[in-house]
Amino acid sequence: MIRLEDVHLAFGDNTVLDGVSLEVPPACIYALIGPGAAGKSVLFKVVAGLLRPASGKVFVDDEELGPLNEIELARVRKKIGMLFQNYALFDMNVAENIAFPLRRLFDLSEEEIAERVAERLERVALPGTEHRIPQSMSGGQKKRIGVARATIARPPIVLYDEPTAGLDPVTSQKIYDLVQEEQRAQDTTVMVISSDVAGVLTIADRVGMLHEGRLIFDGTTDDAKASTDPAVRQFVHGLTEGPL
Amino acid sequence: MAFTARAENVSPLAALKNVLQDALAVARVGRRTMHYLIRGKREPGSVARQMFAIGNQSLFFMCITMAFIGAIITFQTGLQSKKLVPDFSMIGATYLKLLIRDLAASVGALPLATRVGAGIAAEIGSMVVTEQVDALRMCAADPVDYLVVPRFIASVIMGTVILIIGGFVAYGSGMLVAQLMFDVSPHTFTNLSLVTMGDLVLGVSKAVTYGGAIALVSGQRGLATFGGSEGVGWATTEAVVGSCFAIIVLNLVISTIGYFFVPAL
Amino acid sequence: MGAPAAPVGVLLALPQRVGAFLLALATQIGGVTILLGQILRRLNPARIDRHELFRNLNRMGVRSVPIISATAAFTGGIMVVQAAPFVEQFNAKGFIGWAATFTTFRELGPLLIGLIFNGRVGANNTAELGTMQVTDQVDALRALAIDPIAYLVVPRVLAMISMMVVLTILGDAIALGGAMLTADLLLDVDPRIFWASAIERLETWDFFVGLIKSLLFGVMIALMSCYYGLATRGGAPGVGRAVNASVVASAAGVFIADYFSTFVLD
């Protein structure tokens, strides 16, 4: 479960989050949509405790992040897997990248680690790429390695930042299916940022729309499709006419 | 950082405040480094990798620089003593004492900071702007533990070693200049009569301190990088200037302590 | 370094590295010389963008005053602390003022201020030009029929050289203030004795040697930082590499220039 209460955050004079409150119920896929520079990625980093809000409260599994120090935050982050918008893969080979959270968080034997890595690579349709270097791979492949790294420790919460950006429609759908299957199998709580609104709505249970640092819509997927708010309508249906 | 031009038009008071804030930020990274130095788990080989990187990128550069520095200092000392006492017999003894007590560490640390500090800040800074540092934090790997600590250990060890090597190079080039310009034979020049154990202790402790300061200042600057690739350029600049400044301030502190507690003669 | 090292034996690795280093060095010296020629051509007749020049004078000079002042003050203090044991042993309190001014003017002032100036202004300049280069802004200037050398490089070079000299004069003064204060506190040398010994023995030439040096260092830092900035390739990571290379090359250049000018100017 994730809950934000009146979260404000600014970089200098640039207000990024301007009073955001939202709740993601357990075992739910929550799609976060909105135009570029609306503060979506920043909101993810606030949930993960990577950025501290200027005011407001953030709860992960009923634990408030505000009073926690970096070491206590690390305990909360163990529950969260995160796919970064720009992959954020390390300068190591694919297997080392994916195994990194396992090595840091658990005490497993090398055989177990290799087995889990192979299973993840199978799952993201990149079997046998253990020894390749991510920098030499395509954007879609890097995204999928990021997905494998985010989920290998089986965290109860997973945040996907633009899992399908720059991917062709077929691969995009495969990634969405993967996100949904993973969520159903583990009963995880999932948040997805996506610019591909039509695609992400096919798997989302709930939708939030962020615009200029404010949450201008929060409801079920069906509500989003039926919304009469002009900005939401325009964004969900991809219209050129409208306030955006 | 207050000393660089990123923020436009800062008043002197605000600049002073920024310097103090930066010093505090470095101190906080230093405290966490000490914490993890005692309790953190080292990735095997990470320190050795950093030691190789530091040695590989700076040894050649430092040898050339220190050769020139040694020659310049000997020449200036010779000029100065020519005016006071036209006797060059003690030029080597004085030079070696100063070299061991201060110059090898303090003058050599400035080019070292330029090379090593820029490298550390650029490397950590580009990991910050590509979100790799956030990814580390998501895996419960504190970037101070994972990135700064191995560089700190490596910089302390390799920095000291390189400054000592640089000291020998400066001694050699000084000897050459003394022979060529002032007709002082290497035998007369190599006079350790003025050097005490205290000088050696003081010089080595300076080298160790500077090595640590370079890593902490540059590591903190790297971690504080923001604003894409241009931000990495800024962080590099700030790391070099900040490290040099830290070295100069620490030099004054250590030298003053040395003046009172480590008798020079 | 880009060449595959695998087939080369250990014995050949060192000569190969030395050769690669010399080739790179020759390329850089050539590039800097060409840049110098291009700049000189645009100074005759001088058509300088006044706005850019003043902006850079402020940015590079005025804004460097805090760091230069702080560095100089500490350095002046350190100088006296280091000299203190010798002064006490030889009872040379009457000489400390001269020794401090001589060292500061001739060597320490220009060299230290040059190194700090290199770290702050030179690196900054490379980062800025490098970012403009990799984001195609330099080519955009060309497309607008604006000569990037005249518009970008000439004002920067002039600003850096003149500010380096001005900041050296300022730094010298502050370092001597620091030295005087430390001598008073640590060695009980009366400021009047400090200055008397300086005036008695110092020659005007000592001061000008330092100024000529600072001018040379300014030229060195200005040319290197502009050259590396404009030569930036390889997108975002290239800017970091360029800054690194520029700072190191300028520092080496400053030491080499110092070495030769020390001997020539005696």
pLDDT in tens, C2-28: 344 444 455 667 788 788 888 988 998
Q: Which residues of B touch A65 (CB under 8 A)?
A: none
Distance CA B134, CA A87 (A): 11
In terms of pLDDT, which residue wins out, C91 or A58? A58
Q: What is the pLDDT of residue B264?
A: 65
Secondary structure (DSSP) of C126-164: HHHHHHHHHTTHHHHHHHTT--HIIIIIHHHHHHHHHHH
Q: Average pLDDT, stretch B108-125?
A: 91
Q: Residue with structure tokens 């990123």?
A: B6
Count other C-beta atoms under 10 Å from residue A55's C-beta.
12
DSSP C105: I
Tell me the backbone φ, ψ of residue A36, rounded to 5 degrees: -60, 150
- Candidates B130, B131, B140; nearest CB to A77: B140
Which residues are paired to A11 by β-bridges? A14
Q: What is the pLDDT of residue B265?
A: 64
B208: amino acid identity, one letter: V
Query: In whole angstroms, how far apart are CA C166 and each of B72, B175, C57, C77, C210?
Result: 23, 35, 11, 21, 12
Q: Are A199 and A164 in contact (CB under 8 A)?
A: yes
Interface test with A, best of B139, B144, B223, B225 (most A CBs within 10 A): B139
Distance CA A211, CA C181 (A): 60
Q: Which residues of A touch B140 (CB under 8 A)?
A: 74-75, 77-78, 104-105
Distance CA B188, CA B198 (A): 23
Query: Does the structure's ipTM exceed the value 0.95?
Result: no
Neighbours of chain C (3+ CB pairs under 8 A): B
Instruction: With cut-offs at 50, 70 and 90, classify the pLDDT of residue A1.
Output: confident
pLDDT higher than 50, residue C204:
yes
Instruction: With cut-offs at 50, 70 and 90, classify the pLDDT of residue A191.
Output: very high
- Please give, rounded to a whole number of angstroms, the shortest distance from the CA of C74 to a CA of chain B: 7
**Would you say residue C244 lies in a domain?**
yes
**Would you say residue C240 lies in a domain?**
yes
pLDDT higher than 90, residue A243:
no
A107 touches chain B (CB under 8 A): no
Instruction: With cut-offs at 50, 70 and 90, classify the pLDDT of residue A40.
Output: very high
Tell me the backbone φ, ψ of residue A10, rounded to 5 degrees: -140, 145
Q: What is the pLDDT of residue B4?
A: 43
Distance CA A99, CA A230 (A): 45
- Please give, rounded to a whole number of angstroms, the shortest distance from the CA of B40 to a CA of chain C: 30
In terms of pLDDT, which residue wins out, C47 or B261? B261
CB-based contact B132 A81, cutoff 8 Å: no
Instruction: Tell me the per-residue pLDDT of C121-172, one tens digit each, with 9 for 90 and over.
Output: 998 899 889 888 888 888 888 888 888 898 899 999 999 999 999 999 999 9
Helices and strands in chain C, H and E counts:
12, 0
CB-based contact A90 B132, cutoff 8 Å: yes
Instruction: Tell me the per-residue pLDDT of A227-236, one tens digit each, with 9 for 90 and over.
Output: 888 888 888 8
Q: What is the pLDDT of residue B3?
A: 40
pLDDT higher than 80, residue B7:
no
Q: Are B141 and B46 in contact (CB under 8 A)?
A: no
Distance CA B12, CA A229 (A): 51
Cβ contacts from A onto B, under 8 A? 48
Count other C-beta atoms under 10 Å from residue B52's C-beta.
13
Instruction: With cut-offs at 50, 70 and 90, classify the pLDDT of residue C220.
Output: very high
Express as a percent the part of chain A with pLDDT over 70: 100
For chain C, the domain total comes to 1
pLDDT higher than 80, residue B78:
yes
Q: Which residues of C touch B76 (CB under 8 A)?
A: 103, 106-107, 262
Q: Where are the domains of chain A?
A: 1-79+156-171+180-244, 93-154
Nearest CA in chain B to C252: B65
Nearest CA in chain B to C262: B72
**Looking at B38-47, B153-162, B254-263, C131-140, which range is the least confident one?**
B38-47
By residue count, chain A amounts to 244
Cβ contacts from B onto C, under 8 A? 156
Q: Which residues of B touch C128 (CB under 8 A)?
A: 233
- Average pLDDT of chain A, as a whole number: 90
Nearest CA in chain B to A89: B132
**Would you say residue C235 lies in a domain?**
yes
CB-based contact A104 B135, cutoff 8 Å: no
Domain spanning A1-79+156-171+180-244: CATH 3.40.50.300: yes
Q: What is the pLDDT of residue A215?
A: 93
**Looking at A23-32, A182-191, B228-237, B248-257, which range is the least confident one?**
B228-237
**Would you say residue C170 lies in a domain?**
yes
Instruction: Tell me the per-residue pLDDT of A209-227, one tens digit each, with 9 for 90 and over.
Output: 999 899 999 999 999 999 8
Q: Are B127 and B133 in contact (CB under 8 A)?
A: yes
Q: What is the three-class DSSP state of B131?
A: coil
pLDDT higher than 80, residue B171:
yes
CB-based contact A84 B135, cutoff 8 Å: yes
Q: Average pLDDT, stretch B39-53?
A: 86
Q: What is the pLDDT of residue B6?
A: 54
CB-based contact A50 B137, cutoff 8 Å: yes
Q: Are C115 and C218 in contact (CB under 8 A)?
A: no
Instruction: Tell me the per-residue pLDDT of A131-189, one tens digit each, with 9 for 90 and over.
Output: 999 888 888 889 889 999 999 999 999 999 999 887 888 888 888 998 998 899 889 99
DSSP C114: H
- Candidates B76, B229, B237; nearest CB to C124: B237
Nearest CA in chain A to B135: A88
Neighbours of chain B (3+ CB pairs under 8 A): A, C
Q: Which residues of A touch B141 (CB under 8 A)?
A: 100, 104
Q: Average pLDDT, stretch C94-99?
A: 88
A237 touches chain B (CB under 8 A): no
Q: What is the pLDDT of residue B10?
A: 60
CA-based radius of gyration for chain A? 18
Distance CA C180, CA C189 (A): 8
pLDDT higher than 50, residue B5:
no
Distance CA B174, CA B96 (A): 9
Q: Which residues of A touch B134 (CB under 8 A)?
A: 45, 48, 50, 82, 84, 88
Q: Which residues of B touch A (CB under 8 A)?
A: 130-132, 134-142
Q: What is the pLDDT of residue C63?
A: 83
Neighbours of chain A (3+ CB pairs under 8 A): B
Q: Are A15 and A213 in contact (CB under 8 A)?
A: yes
Q: Are strands A63-64 and A55-60 parallel, antiparallel or unpaired?
A: antiparallel
Which domain range does residue B110 map to? 45-260
CB pairs under 8 A, 24+ apart, for A69-73? A70/B142, A71/B142, A73/A49
Distance CA A134, CA A92 (A): 8
- Please give, rounded to a whole number of angstroms, the shortest distance from the CA of A170 to a CA of chain B: 27
Q: What is the pLDDT of residue C6?
A: 45
Q: What is the pLDDT of residue C194?
A: 92
Chains B and C lie in contact, requiring 3 or more CB pairs less than 8 Å apart: yes
Q: What is the pLDDT of residue A186?
A: 85
A68 touches chain B (CB under 8 A): no
Instruction: Tell me the per-residue pLDDT of C179-203, one tens digit each, with 9 for 90 and over.
Output: 999 999 988 999 999 999 899 888 8
Pick from A180, A230, A236, A190: nearest CA to A209: A236
- Please give, rounded to a whole number of angstroms, the shortest distance from the CA of C251 to a CA of chain B: 7
- Please give, rounded to a whole number of angstroms, the shortest distance from the CA of A129 to a CA of chain B: 21
Q: What is the pLDDT of residue C169?
A: 96
Q: Average pLDDT, stretch A105-117?
A: 91
Distance CA C146, CA C155 (A): 14
For chain B, the domain total comes to 1
Nearest CA in chain A to B129: A88
Which domain range does residue C98 map to? 47-265
Q: Residue with structure tokens 């290197």?
A: C224
Q: What is the pLDDT of residue B1?
A: 38
